């Protein structure tokens, strides 16, 4: 399988879990690839990513989620304190 086809397969698996309501709760990086742990209520699933592009995709999703949660909460505590100084 080409790297691109492998990436598409892994990306579709990630997107399917996220669309089903799962959220990323842990990332474990190893020499054999990344193991991504997802959770929905009390259900947990783990996905093994082998391609570099899929690992970058997960990183992008995590950064975007952090950015969105920061914006929806009005910034972090430190930012709020600095603004009032």
Residue 71 has a pLDDT of 76
Q: Are the beta carbons of 36 and 58 closer than 8 angstroms?
A: yes
pLDDT at residue 1 above 90?
A: no
CA distances from 48 to 29, 31, 39, 41, 73 (A): 10, 12, 15, 21, 32
Whether the Cβ atoms of residue 38 and residue 17 lie closer than 8 Å to each other: yes
Q: What is the pTM of this model?
A: 0.79
pLDDT at 83: 47
Taking the C-alpha atoms of residue 27 and residue 76, their distance in angstroms, rounded to an integer, is 23
At residue 69, the pLDDT reads 82
**pLDDT, tens digit, for every residue of 32-80?**
999 999 999 999 999 999 999 999 999 999 999 888 887 766 554 444 4
């Amino acid at each position: 399988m080409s790297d691109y086809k492998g990436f598409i397969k892994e990306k579709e698996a990630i997107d399917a879990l996220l669309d089903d309501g799962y959220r990323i709760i842990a990332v474990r990086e190893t020499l054999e690839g990344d193991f991504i742990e997802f959770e929905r209520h009390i259900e947990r699933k783990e996905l093994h990513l082998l391609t570099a592009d899929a690992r970058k995709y997960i990183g992008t999703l995590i950064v975007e989620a952090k950015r969105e949660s920061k914006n929806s909460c009005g910034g972090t505590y430190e930012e709020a304190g600095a603004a009032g100084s």
